[in-house]
Amino acid sequence: MATRGLPAWPWTREPADDLPEPERLLLEGCRLWAAAARDGRPTRLALRPPFLAEDAADAVGPLDALLRQAATLKPIAFGCPLCPRVTEDEATLLMGCALTQRGARREGLALFLRWLPPGGAHAAMPAAIHLGAALRAAGLVLRNPLRMPR
């Protein structure tokens, strides 16, 4: 199998500040959730400030459910809230959520399968669908990661 010329996964190792606004919000939420989980604090409360600021409070529940589901299956490698670059797990989550929000559920599931075991990936889909709907209702549409300009 050839190893040259394979495309890089979108958003992986990119500067977090260069992400579009909806993706930055989702990334910030993931990182705040992970920091709260590590510290033993309530994860749902950690998600509220940035999502309330963007009038996307309805997205807190689905994101918390999605991350809880994932965390029960494997250690999540999210960066700290101030890490400058997007980690591979963060990029996979962002891409899976973006594709699911855009109606490409098979492709979103394929990304979640790359990140989680099969049963966990299927179980995460309802939360990802509700998360995408809540973000869209708040006017936050994630970019299609498969059609981004390079």
Q: Is the dihedral of CA 90, 116, 114, 94 positive or negative?
A: negative
Q: Do 21 and 29 meet the contact criterion of CB atoms below 8 Å apart?
A: no
Provide the β-strand partners of residue 15.
85
∠ CA 104-106-111, rounded to 5° = 95
pTM for the structure as a whole: 0.89
Would you state the pLDDT for residue 94? 94
Provide the β-strand partners of residue 85.
15
What is the full per-residue pLDDT of the chain (150 aa) written as tens digits?
A: 444 544 567 778 889 999 999 999 999 999 999 999 999 999 999 999 999 999 999 999 999 999 999 999 888 899 999 999 999 999 999 999 999 999 999 999 998 998 899 999 999 999 999 999 999 999 999 998 877 655
